[in-house]
Structure 1
Amino acid sequence: MSGNVTMYSTTWCGYCRRLKSQMEREGIAYTEVNIEQDPASAKFVEEANGGNQTVPTLLISGDSGKSTTLTNPSVAQVKQALAA
């Protein structure tokens, strides 16, 4: 599975930990960005989620070059976005 996945998260987010372990189990590589340590990424997450800092928020660039933003997705949704 190719494409780029950036996961915006926090250290205390249980949903983030769950999704990370599921993606690792599925062999999906990702780059993690802690929004508490990076104000620019916190702003991106707010813009993607109607002003809320909801995590995990993923930015996925699929094979076609199209970018998709997903908020608290399932691993199946991540795989689908990567295939698009």
Structure 2
Amino acid sequence: MMRPWNLSLLLVLCGSVAATALLLRGSPVAAVALLLVFVVLAGVHSPLAFPKSIGAVEARRRSAVDGRPVVFWRSGCKYCLRLRLRLGRSARQLHWVDIWRDPAGAAAVRAANDGNETVPTVLVAGRPHVNPDPEWVREQLSPSA
């Protein structure tokens, strides 16, 4: 369960070490500023930046009922973060599956990507789309789609 948090923890640790070094050199303002930058980066790359993940089986079931896409993602992925940020509030309408927390989700991504865990993989009407344009994903949420 710690794997999704590894990058965030590493960022906080590195920021703390760098801030301590600046503090010891007598630059408390720079130390605080640097630590804040690292904490913000850690937050953005943490699982907290994404809507709550559900299992792949449940996500597919819900998608079959409501027709909304399923997004397979993992923390630390810059393309997943790009998709999440560009979707804005629309991201809450999607079903998110963290492949590092759900083995069935990881298996579904590998099956769609020739054995690779390439994310984000978006499942629309049962068809996988690898790293799609966020605007296209948003269009899939519209009632006319």
| TM bin (shorter chain) | 0.7 to 0.9
- Alignment partner of 1:21 is 2:85: yes
Which residue does the alignment assign to 1:68?
127
- Alignment partner of 1:31 is 2:95: yes
Partner secondary structure for residue 137 of structure 2: helix
Specify which of 91, 105, 109 is matched with residue 45 of structure 1. Answer: 109
Could you list the per-position Cα deviations for residues 26-66 of structure 1 after superposition, in whole angstroms to 9, with x for gaps in the alignment? x35212111011111100000000110000001123xxxxx
TM-score of the two chains, using structure 2 as the length reference: 0.47
Higher strand share: 1
Report % sequence identity: 37
Give the counterpart letter for 1:46 in structure 2: R
Which residue does the alignment assign to 2:17?
none
Partner secondary structure for residue 4 of structure 1: coil
Q: Unaligned 5+ residue runs, structure 1?
A: 62-66
Indicate conservation of the 8 Å contact 1:7/1:59, yes or no.
yes
Partner secondary structure for residue 17 of structure 1: helix
CA distance in 2, matches of 1:32, 1:50: 21
Higher helix share: 2
CA shift, 1:22, in A, is 1.3
Are the structure 2 counterparts of residues 30 and 72 from structure 1 closer, same or farther at C-alpha, using a change threshold of 3 Å?
same
Q: Specify the structure having the higher radius of gyration (Cα).
A: 2
Query: How many residues get paired?
Result: 76
Structure 1 residue ranges, 4+ long, deviating more than 3 angstroms after superposition: 79-82
Give the counterpart letter for 1:77 in structure 2: W
- Say which structure, 1 or 2, has more relative contact order (CA 8 Å, 6+ apart): 1
TM-score of the two chains, using structure 1 as the length reference: 0.76
Aligned residues: CA RMSD:
1.9
Which residue does the alignment assign to 1:77?
136
Q: Unaligned 5+ residue runs, structure 2?
A: 1-65
Indicate conservation of the 8 Å contact 2:72/2:122, yes or no.
yes
